[in-house]
Amino acid sequence: MIQSITTLPALRPFWPMLYVAWADGVLTDAELTTLRNTARAYLWLEDGEREALLSWLDPASPPDARQLQHLLAEIRDAAGSTAERVSLVDLGLAIARDEIQADRGAFRTSDTLSALEDIEEALGVCSIEAARAVVGPPALRVAAEPEPPARPTHGLRELLESPYAHVSHRVRDVLLGPTFGHVYGLDKETQREVVLGWMRTLADAGVGKLAYADLFDKEGSLGEFMAAFETVALFDLSLTIKMGVQFGLFGGSIYFLGTDEQRDEYLPRVATAQLPGCFAMTERGHGSNVQGLETTATWCADTGTIEVHSPSDSASKEFIGNAAAHGRLATVYAQLRVGDEEHGVHAVLVPLRDEDDRTVAGVRIEDCGYKIGLNGVDNGRIWFDRVHVPRTNLLGRYGRIDADGTYSSPIASPSRRFFTMLGTLVGGRISVALGAGSATKVALTSAVRYADRRRQFGPGDGRPETRLLDYRYHQKRLMPALARTYAIHFALRDCVKAYEDSQDEVDRRDIEARAAALKVVSTWHATRTIQTCREACGGAGYLSENRFGDLKADTDVFATFEGDNVVLLQLVARNLLAQFRRQFADDRVFSLLKYVARQATSAIIERNPIVTHDTSEQHLRSAEFQLSAFQHREKDLLGSLAQRLRRRIVDEKMDAFDAFNDCQPHVIDLARAYAERIVMESMATAVVNAPQEMQPALAGLRDLFALSAIQEDIGWFLENDWVEPRKTKAIRKLVHDLCREVASDATALVDAFGIPEQWLARIARAC
């Protein structure tokens, strides 16, 4: 039977330990037996005291709830006003202070201290927190950690929207009208009609005309159209993609590849959505390999027409937006044949449906059915069975057939002509990157605002429960993602401007690589961040009304359309290797070898820079250090890749394609390094060009983006002697501190995205 210990002064120091051991059930029977054997060795205790202690350590006779409650009351009464942060050992000695002061013979402080430490070690709990739980909130208070000062963020929204704020506001006003609103659980047919109606409303408001400014009295620009696209993506991604297919891909193919006559004939109806259309490039059998398309466009001299034909089942145009229900005309990419000559891939306008929406003869269309997301877009498969169209349906800016059957083109090289025609995809890739960025902003705004309001757990000392945003790991989940989102935003703004300003082929090639890289960075970032935000909102994030499900599902395909991300990274690397693209297309090995040798030589000279050992915060937070890290990594990877290719091609006599394939992981690493470098440069420039009062907040975002990106690839920087272990620790600590610093501004930083309340998760809305 358990004996009372509250009447025995010598056992007072053991009270907290005994209470915690039984109240939390932290000890096993074996551990209790070990403690009983230890207690028997406490020779300074009287027999009755030792037996009472042993009775409280008997696994066969545990104290009941009433006895534990009585012991807890005695502990709290004896502890009095103990206020300092103490351990269970300290608390036990404090309870026995009267016996210590009286220096009673039965009480030996040193022996008791040793015994208490034995028990504390056996308990294996956080002794200080356990003592605090025993004494209760009034007794032990912990000073709150001071918050970092908030930095000025006024004007950030205007900065982010510049120079297209007027477009963003105009489109927001349309989307906030009574026609628009989220409804969940619709079947795909109903959702498609809703989205079609929305697109026509946008067209009525002039949004479609923005993409073809010079045709409509300078009513817009490509940059303004992309700003509209970005704004629509904040509201609904099915509408965004529907709009992108209609005005961007379909209309864009006519705008960039068509003659003036073709533009005038079709684009007014495309811009107003009176002529819904498709962009039919990808085929099931060849995926991203556009040069390998099977569909043929053959000149028929006897009829003066072009015959469009799918020679096999694998030649189906796959996953074509607007095809399953609404498209009437398609831009079809096919191998052009005129007589005995092959002229490569060209674009031909082919009717799909008549004015009554009946499929035209020779065209077969299948509905792709339900998808993971974007079910408001009517994706379909298309086959052509010897469909004849007028020769004037060949989009003729870069290749045309005269009435006598003569083919002509202003671009002599078939390879160069092919890549020029693919240039229409650049705008699409930038738009997808912008759409992914918008979805990321919606998710982050919802998660940050929820974290700013939601409270749970806490110190239990009379203070309110702790905000989610104050938990350091919660900050680590969201703040680096917020910093990267800002950095990508500025990089995309710079890319849009460069796209609008491009004048020559050199500019276009650089922009093609930049657009591809940013599409990869933005879409992969969206996939990762939206999932993180969903988890950061707990079970509430799983409700449809909080939008994370739609955001996840609708952006998932962004990694593979408008170019598979891995394929695009190889495009980026080929651009960085300059003339490799020409060799890859035309098998001209000599130019590649010459280039590789030159790159390898220069890379050897630039390798192994002096490694800095500076771990000071001032150094790590300097834009100069951050930029140099990104630039050095890219140059090093480019140089080492050049050497590896040279060794395989020259020394091992490997085919150039096989050499490139053998180095593919290195190729991908190089392209990703390039992508992060251009994002870093844009972010650094944005800080310098921002109004002075905004620079501290933006500099914090720059620092967090840069250092967290370096930390993610710290293995490379260590292996290549760019940092030493001591510096990696300093970076890790500073990233931890920067997360807290940025968190102090987080709500203002996401509010600067300017997302209307109705488009956020319900848990994040102001009311």
pLDDT of residue 106: 45
With H, G, I as helix, E, B as strand and everything else as coil, classify residue 124: coil
pLDDT of residue 413: 78
Regions of the chain with pLDDT less than 50: 83, 103-107, 138-143, 579-590, 600-611
**What class does CATH assign to 158-265?**
mainly alpha
Q: Give the percent of the chain with pLDDT over 90.
A: 58
194 contacts: CB under 8 Å, gap ≥ 6:
183, 186, 376
Q: What is the dihedral of CA 321, 322, 327, 329, to 10 degrees?
A: -20
Rounded Cα distance, 759 and 756, in Å: 6
Residue 535 contacts residue 541 (beta carbons within 8 Å): yes
User: Quick one: which H or E segment has residue 96?
Assistant: none
pLDDT of residue 196: 97
Helices (runs of H) and strands (runs of E) counted in the chain: 31, 11
CA-to-CA dists, residue 545 to 328, 532, 537, 540, 555, angstroms: 35, 17, 13, 9, 17
pLDDT of residue 704: 98
Rounded Cα distance, 512 and 497, in Å: 13
- In the CATH scheme, what architecture does the domain 426-764 have? Up-down Bundle (1.20)
pLDDT of residue 407: 94
Q: Which amino acid is at 348?
A: V
Domain 277-419 fold: Butyryl-CoA Dehydrogenase, subunit A; domain 2 (2.40.110)
DSSP 698-757: HHHHHHHHHHHHHHHTHHHHHHTTSS-HHHHHHHHHHHHHHHHHHHTTHHHHHHTT---G
pLDDT of residue 98: 60
Bridge partners of 331? 279, 349
pLDDT of residue 24: 65
Residue 345 contacts residue 293 (beta carbons within 8 Å): yes
Instruction: Give residue limits of the domains in the chain.
Output: 9-135, 158-265, 277-419, 426-764
pLDDT of residue 123: 59
Strands 305-309 and 387-390, bridge-based pairing: antiparallel
pLDDT of residue 653: 84
